[in-house]
Amino acid sequence: MALLNPSLRTALVLLASLLSSSTAIAPSPRNPPPHPLCKAVPGTPNWPSTASWVRLNESTGGRVLRASPPGAVCHPGQPDYNAAGCAAVRDGWKTYEFHQADPVSVDWNQWANDSCLPFDGDPCSHQGYPVFVVNASTARHVKLGVDFAAKHNIRLVVKSSGHDFLGRSVAPNSLSIWVHHLKGIQSHDSFQPKHCPSIINTTAVTVGGGTQMIDLYTTLDEIGQTVVGGGGKTVSVGGYVTGGGHGLLSARYGLAADQVLEAEIVTPTGDIVTANECQNTDLFWAVRGGGGSTFGVLTSATLATYPTPHLTNLQLLIATPSTTPQPTIFAMVSLVLSYFPTLSDAGLSGYTFFSASFPSNSSTLAGGLLSIMVLQDQPPSAMTALWAPVFAAVEAAWPRTFLVLPETTEYPSFYAWFQDYFDTSAAGTNTFVGSRLLGREALAGNVSRNAEVLARFAGGGIGTAYLVSGKGVRDARPRGGGDAVLPAWRRAYVHATFGVDFEPLNRTARTEALSKVNYYLEPMRELAPDSGAYMNEADPEEPDWQHQFWGDNYKRLYVSYCPAAHLLFAPFQPLFSPLPGFRPRADQSRLHIKRKVDPNDVFWCTPCVGNERWQQIGDRLCRKVGNT
Ligand SMILES: Cc1cc2nc3c(=O)[nH]c(=O)nc-3n(C[C@H](O)[C@H](O)[C@H](O)COP(=O)(O)OP(=O)(O)OC[C@H]3O[C@@H](n4cnc5c(N)ncnc54)[C@H](O)[C@@H]3O)c2cc1C
Ligand SMILES: *[C@@H]1O[C@H](CO)[C@@H](O)[C@H](O)[C@H]1NC(C)=O
Ligand SMILES: *[C@@H]1O[C@H](CO)[C@@H](O)[C@H](O)[C@H]1NC(C)=O
Ligand SMILES: *[C@@H]1O[C@H](CO)[C@@H](O)[C@H](O)[C@H]1NC(C)=O
Ligand SMILES: *[C@@H]1O[C@H](CO)[C@@H](O)[C@H](O)[C@H]1NC(C)=O
Ligand SMILES: *[C@@H]1O[C@H](CO)[C@@H](O)[C@H](O)[C@H]1NC(C)=O
Ligand SMILES: *[C@@H]1O[C@H](CO)[C@@H](O)[C@H](O)[C@H]1NC(C)=O
Ligand SMILES: *[C@@H]1O[C@H](CO)[C@@H](O)[C@H](O)[C@H]1NC(C)=O
């Protein structure tokens, strides 16, 4: 870029804007004409009248709630102030259960701009939260909310559990559709997608978009089945499946998105549609991995289910006395990780955490790694055999340095295992996370280089290596010939992730936390340059997120395809992505899916597919000038 001669650059910008000026898309008759520059906010003339809100409330049978910041009960100045209520909110704040049960609360404080924390001395305003909420329990309630937001040009958000690490489930000045009560779990011995000629010979389950993992697991366990699901009890199908969805069983069966046989979706234009391999196939493709709150609201999904496996679990600690130098600890972790591709191919999956200093009061154990690993339908002897060479290699490299404590347990079902190992981390913090997907070459290519990469976690950071991809994800055959999941998942074994906490109401701390996320991620990006990040657990400021989250699929999701422009610009391809105004010409039939299903950007979030035409300015969402 730096070498580009300015006049050539000017010419290219001009050419790009000429090309894009002919791409204006005629509004389809059912959609309103082009929007004003910003979405409406309360107190301005285009915000709907009270009478309009009352009509919306009546049409939903009284399901419109005025949003109240959950922390408001703790602030004497607030109308909702209530000392007893405050105690309950403070008790619940660290739990996922509290935030998922509240119409607007989210797990990570910064996404509501720390605007009403339940603590003494903190400010409290409504500023970071939606204005109204539709408490939806049917697709029709969802449709009424979507139509209202579209008609009145109001920012729309979708909240299920509020767990989102990217902050997509809350926004100021918005109408929120709360999908938590879209429940229902119905199992099938086989499944025939609507209007499809043949029956799919697999057991399956149809669930409401707000269904949570624990309810799904519990119900399926009663009939001896399970599903590809996540580690948190309250994670909901809506955000999980649309984002990809990994879990203990994905290594065997593919990601959660790959399990979808059919979806019911309320589209941005207010249609309640069924998407499967026979109808609305573009939407079917996009909603499986293309991200939450982008292509509509997933009101229900039908997922393939499996006989619940017998699990052999290994809880493994490889740790050192505190006197061991830190580089040795990371070298050990790096060596163990280099075995992961082979272990995965043999059927192993699970979670590994590593740190130079585990939070522990023990004076005899310092850093190392802790793994929770399972083999499905294989005996403990198989587990022992798999790990023997790994333990031998550690001992050979660092004789009598590491304590190796393996503990094997058997579980009769996934559900039984989950009772012991569900995610017990805390919510209610200010937290950013980061992700990198690592394939065989990244994990096993150069062990000493990896030791240096991991050493960035020295000084207290905890890194994780989730062994949740591998053969099952590589060989998955999503219905309809594919889905929008990042292709790098198919080559990955490990989803490496970590979190960085920071102090609320402190911009410096926030900035430092984001830099720290980047500091951890930078060498991992170098390690796996052609890979990407798992969008649901990614750095919200991941550079080039379009390609890091979707790879080549981004073209079909958003960037239109234009053979002529492609030829013309091919030699300068690397120059184009940074040009903000550039969009190649496209005829209607080749429009990318986001623009086709949501021509007026009723759904907008960041970092999300097709959000490039809008930006947040303060607490408002506005069109980018010259980018209509
Ligand atoms: C404790 C914990 C454990 C986790 N474990 C795992 C794991 O094991 N595997 C894994 O893959 N991920 C895991 N995650 C990450 C998880 O996938 C994401 O946080 C995901 O976004 C949660 O979805 P949600 O619907 O519960 O949350 P929300 O925050 O409510 O929603 C997330 C996003 O999806 C949108 N959305 C929600 N419902 C719908 C819907 N019905 N239709 C359309 N859009 C919708 C929201 O607008 C938002 O954009 C975990 C997260 C937490 C907090
Ligand atoms: C919507 O109607 C219900 C039932 O009449 C009422 O309880 C609720 O307060 C109304 N919502 C708003 C925001 O006024
Ligand atoms: C939302 O609706 C459900 C029923 O679908 C109801 O049980 C719940 O109390 C409602 N929540 C609020 C806050 O009104
Ligand atoms: C369906 O699958 C089951 C189990 O894989 C198999 O036993 C059965 O024969 C199959 N039925 C049909 C009609 O193909
Ligand atoms: C360490 O000890 C303190 C005080 O005895 C206790 O409160 C804390 O929970 C302990 N931490 C761990 C990780 O065991
Ligand atoms: C492995 O990485 C180390 C440290 O980064 C480097 O010095 C070495 O040249 C690499 N080895 C190979 C074979 O690439
Ligand atoms: C804000 O955070 C920074 C960085 O962590 C810290 O140095 C500073 O003391 C904090 N400011 C306040 C007022 O606490
Ligand atoms: C977040 O809150 C701060 C005050 O703490 C305010 O200055 C800022 O504008 C808010 N951000 C947004 C996006 O509203």
Question: In terms of pLDDT, which residue wins out, 482 or 15?
Answer: 482
Specify the pLDDT at position 2: 32
pLDDT at 527 over 50: yes
Whether 107 is in a domain gets the answer yes
Mean pLDDT of 31-46: 77
Specify the pLDDT at position 575: 42
Q: What percent of the chain has pLDDT over 90?
A: 85
For the stretch 571-588, pLDDT in tens is 444 444 434 434 444 444
CA 374 / ligand 6 centre spacing (Å): 32
Pick from 49, 55, 57 the residue to mutate for probing ligand 2's pocket: most ligand atoms within 8 Å of its CB: 57
Mean pLDDT of 432-449: 98
Specify the pLDDT at position 364: 65
User: 374 and 282, same structural domain?
Assistant: no
Q: CB–CB of 265/287 below 8 Å?
A: yes
| Atom 4 in ligand 2: residue holding the nearest Cα | 62
User: 358 and 482, same structural domain?
Assistant: yes
- Kindly report the backbone phi and psi dihedral angles of residue 134, in degrees, each rounded to the nearest multiple of 5, phi listed first: -95, 115
User: 278 and 247, same structural domain?
Assistant: yes
For the stretch 502-515, pLDDT in tens is 999 999 999 999 99
Quote the CA–CA distance of 417 and 474 in Å, as a whole number: 25
| 550-585 as b/e: b if 16+ CB within 10 A | bbebbebbbbbebeebeeebeeeeebeeebeebbbb
Specify the pLDDT at position 361: 65
List own/partner pairs for 18-25 with CB under 8 A and 24 or more apart: 19/565, 19/582, 19/583, 19/584, 19/585, 20/581, 20/582, 20/583, 20/584, 20/585, 22/585, 23/560, 23/583, 23/584, 23/585, 23/586, 24/628, 25/588, 25/591, 25/595, 25/599
Domain boundary among 260, 281, 307: 307
Residue 592: strand pairing partners: none
User: 17 and 131, same structural domain?
Assistant: yes
| Atom 13 in ligand 7: residue holding the nearest Cα | 506
pLDDT at 155 over 80: yes
User: 272 and 399, same structural domain?
Assistant: no
For the stretch 180-237, pLDDT in tens is 999 999 999 999 999 999 999 999 999 999 999 999 999 999 999 999 999 999 999 9
Q: Using alpha carbons, select from 527, 523, 522 the residue that is nearest to residue 492.
A: 527
Mean pLDDT of 247-276: 98
For the stretch 54-80, pLDDT in tens is 999 999 999 999 999 999 999 999 999
| Tally of CA atoms within 13 A in the half-sphere of 557 that contains its CB | 26
Whether 628 is in a domain gets the answer no
Q: How confident is the model at residue 625 (pLDDT cuts 50, 70, 90)?
A: confident
Sign of CA dihedral 552, 556, 558, 563: positive
Q: What percent of the chain has pLDDT over 70?
A: 88
Whether 542 is in a domain gets the answer yes
First to last CA, the chain: 26
Mean pLDDT of 424-453: 97
pLDDT at 29 over 50: no
Q: CB–CB of 424/523 below 8 Å?
A: no
Most confident residue range from 323-327, 472-476, 567-571: 472-476
User: 227 and 106, same structural domain?
Assistant: no
- Kindly report the backbone phi and psi dihedral angles of residue 122, in degrees, each rounded to the nearest multiple of 5, phi listed first: -80, 150
Whether 298 is in a domain gets the answer yes
Most confident residue range from 20-24, 326-330, 562-566, 598-602: 598-602
Specify the pLDDT at position 16: 35
Q: Which atom of ligand 2 is nearest to the CA of 62?
A: 2
Specify the pLDDT at position 561: 39
66 in contact with ligand 2, CB cutoff 6 A:
yes
Q: CB–CB of 48/60 below 8 Å?
A: no
Rounded-to-5 percentages of helix, strand, coil across the chain: 35, 20, 45
Q: How confident is the model at residue 100 (pLDDT cuts 50, 70, 90)?
A: very high
469 in contact with ligand 1, CB cutoff 6 A:
no
Specify the pLDDT at position 362: 66
Q: How confident is the model at residue 591 (pLDDT cuts 50, 70, 90)?
A: low
| Atom 39 in ligand 1: residue holding the nearest Cα | 238
Pick from 98, 100, 135 the residue to mutate for probing ligand 3's pocket: most ligand atoms within 8 Å of its CB: 135
Specify the pLDDT at position 23: 31
Q: Using alpha carbons, select from 333, 386, 391 the residue that is nearest to residue 358.
A: 333
Can you state the angle between helices 326-338 and 447-454, rounded to 10 degrees?
130
Sign of CA dihedral 6, 566, 598, 245: negative
User: 463 and 377, same structural domain?
Assistant: yes
Distances (CA, A) of 351 to 78, 246, 382, 463, 469: 44, 11, 18, 11, 11
Query: Which amino acid appears at position 340 of this protein?
Result: F
DSSP readout, 248-259?
A: TTHHHH--SGGG
Ligand nearest to the CA of 177: 1
CA 126 / ligand 8 centre spacing (Å): 11
| CATH code, domain with 216 | 3.30.465.10
| Atom 5 in ligand 6: residue holding the nearest Cα | 449
User: 539 and 392, same structural domain?
Assistant: yes
Q: How confident is the model at residue 365 (pLDDT cuts 50, 70, 90)?
A: confident
User: 217 and 132, same structural domain?
Assistant: no
Residue 404: strand pairing partners: 318
183 in contact with ligand 3, CB cutoff 6 A:
no
Whether 611 is in a domain gets the answer no
Give the structural domain span for 233: 185-307
Cis peptide bond prior to 540, omega within 30° of 0: no
Whether 163 is in a domain gets the answer yes
CA 448 / ligand 6 centre spacing (Å): 7
CA 178 / ligand 3 centre spacing (Å): 10
| Tally of CA atoms within 13 A in the half-sphere of 597 that contains its CB | 33
Q: How confident is the model at residue 324 (pLDDT cuts 50, 70, 90)?
A: confident
Residue 562: strand pairing partners: none
User: 240 and 189, same structural domain?
Assistant: yes
Mean pLDDT of 158-169: 98
User: 193 and 110, same structural domain?
Assistant: no
